[in-house]
Amino acid sequence: MTKLTRVCLTLRACFSTQVRPLASIQNHPPVPVVTCKRQQFNLYQNDLPANPDRIKFGELPLASDGWRHRRSNGDYFIIHPVQRAFEAYGLSERSFTELGIRESLVENLKKQHVLSPTHYQVEGIQAMLDGSHVLLAAETGCGKTYTYLVPVMEHILRRKLHEKQRDFNTPLMLIITPGRELAQQIGTVASKLTEGLGINTRVVLGGRTKQQMLNPSFEDIDILVASFGAISKLITSGIYRMEEVRYVVLDEADTLLDDSFNSKLLHLMKRFPFHKNHLQDLGEDIHGTQMVLAAATMPSNMEELLSKLVNVATIEQVVSPNLHRLMGHVTQRFMRVRKSDRPQILLDLVRKDAKRNVPTIIFSNKTPACDFVSMHLNGHGFPCVNLNGDMMLKLRLGQFEKFQQAEVNIISTTDVASRGLNTIRAAHVINFDFPLYTADYIHRVGRIGRIGSRNDCLATNLVSSQAEIGAVQRLEHAARTTNLLRNVDANVKGIIRRKMMKNIGVPNEGLVAS
C-alpha cells in the first residue's frame, strides 16, 4: 500500500515472537522448538535453518506428513514457547502522560491495572492523536481496544470544553463489532475508563431491535458501541443520528469487511465524511470523520476492501511485527486422533484441568458439536456453559459472563467467541474440532496468552479428519521455519466462492467484477 506506515521494526527485538537462537553453551540442554512422539522429527533452537525465508512449504520434513494414513492415530507433536509471557508484549519507557493523556484518564487506567503502555500502544496512540485514518493490525491480546479508546476519549474531553449542546442519541464516537459479546465487553471497558469524566457510553445489541424501534430511549450519548446487525437498522430508522460522529471504529475489521457484512457495511459507511477528515483544521465549519480499523488478521485483499471505504493512501498503518505469527509464549499441542475417540480424550483433558482449577475454552466448528460437548461434559459432572450464534438472545447474553465471573470453569463455544473477547482468566484452549482456516486458528488460540494472562497457557488441538491436516501442516511448517503464517484470510464465504468459481472455470477477473 502506498501510505504512511508505522511498522514497529525497531521494536522487533523487544517483543517479536521470531526465534532468536541461543548461543551454544557446553553442557547446556538443547532448547526445544518442536518435539514429537517420533523423536527423529524433534527440532531444537540450535538446529533452526539459517535462511528460513527461502524454504518453501513442502521442502521440510514434518511430523504431520504421515497423518493422512490411518496408522497415524495416536501421533502428536508440540510447539514449545520460544519466550516468556512478559516478553511477548514489551512495555514502553514512555508513560500515558507523556503521550498527552490527561491525569484523570490515566488514573482510570490505573484502576484497571493498566500502568504503562506497550511499545505497540505508544505507536498506535500517537497515530490516533495525529488524527489520520488508522489501521491497527496486531496479534490478539495485545491491547488494541485501549489503543483506540484512550486517545479518542482524550479528544472527546478536549472537544467538550468548546462544543455546543448536541441532540439526544447523537454520539461523537461509533464503535461497530461483528458480535454481541464483543460489543458488551468494549462497552464495559469504555464505561470504566470514563468513570467520573462526564463521557456517556451506550451499548446496543441485536436481538431486541424491533423492541428498541417501537419504544426507543433518548439520552445524551458520547460513545455508542453496537453490534452491526442492530445499529444498521436503528440508524436507518432514525433513532440514532450520525451527523455529529467524528470517530468510527470497526473492531475486528477483517470480519466486518468480509462477504458476510460487506455490502450493508459499505452502505452504512457512506453516511460519514471520511474524505474531509484531513481538512478539519482549515475551518470550524468543516466536519470530517476519523476511521479506525482494528484487526488481528489481515487478508491479502485488505487494500481492495479498504479502498471501498476511504482513500487508502490516507490510512496510517500501525503493524505489529508479531502479526500473523504463531504465539511465541503459548505451548501448542497437536494430537492425531480418531473422531470416535474425541469424547473420551476430551473428558481426560477436562478432568486434568479440573484438578488444577484451569479455566478452559472448548471450540467446535458447528453448533451441533458445540451442543454435544456441553451436554457430554455436564453429563459427566463437569459444569460447562454453552455459547453459540444460534442461541436465543435471552439464553446467550449471560453465558459468557458466567465464565468470565468464574461461576463455571468450562465454556463450549463456536467461533462466535473467538474474536476480540478478553478472556484473560482462560489458560487452556481445546480445539475439539480443528479449524480449517488459519485465521480462525489465530483467533481461537488468541483467547489465551493475553496481556494479564497466566504464564502456563496451553492450546490442545484434536486433529481427526483428512480435511484438517493441510492446515496443521502449514502451522507446523511456520513453527519450524519461524516464518509468518501465509494465506491468512478470515473471509470464509469469499474463499468458498472463489473455489467454486475456479472449479467452473471462471477467471479471477470475473470474481473481481462480481
- SS3 of 140-151: the string is CCCCHHHHHHHH
Same domain, 172 and 111: yes
Residue by residue, pLDDT tens for the chain (514 residues) are 444 455 443 343 344 444 444 444 455 788 999 999 999 999 999 988 888 878 888 889 999 999 999 899 999 999 999 877 666 677 889 999 999 999 999 999 999 999 999 999 999 999 999 999 999 999 988 899 999 999 999 999 998 877 778 899 999 999 999 988 899 999 999 999 999 999 999 999 877 777 777 778 889 999 999 999 889 889 988 899 999 999 999 999 988 888 767 788 888 999 999 988 876 654 566 688 999 999 998 877 778 888 888 888 899 999 998 889 999 899 999 999 999 999 999 999 999 999 999 999 999 999 999 999 999 999 999 999 999 988 877 777 788 889 999 999 999 999 989 988 889 999 999 999 999 899 999 999 999 999 888 889 999 999 999 999 999 999 999 999 988 888 786 554 454 444 455 555 555 443 333 2
**Tell me, what's the pLDDT at 8?**
46
Number of domains observed in the structure of the chain: 2
Kindly state whether residue 13 falls inside one of the protein's structural domains: no
3-state class (DSSP) for residue 376: helix
Same domain, 92 and 73: no
The residue type at 96: F
3-state class (DSSP) for residue 175: strand
* Continuous segment of H or E residues that includes residue 5: strand 5-7
Other CB atoms within a 10 A radius of the CB of residue 228 amount to 22
From CA 175, how far away is CA 293, in angstroms rounded? 10
The residue type at 475: L
Same domain, 232 and 335: no
3-state class (DSSP) for residue 465: coil
Residue that is last in its domain, among 319, 347, 368: 319
Same domain, 359 and 481: yes
Q: Give the range of the structural domain holding residue 387, as residue numbers without chain letter.
A: 32-82+328-488
CATH number at residue 299: 3.40.50.300
**Tell me, what's the pLDDT at 280?**
60
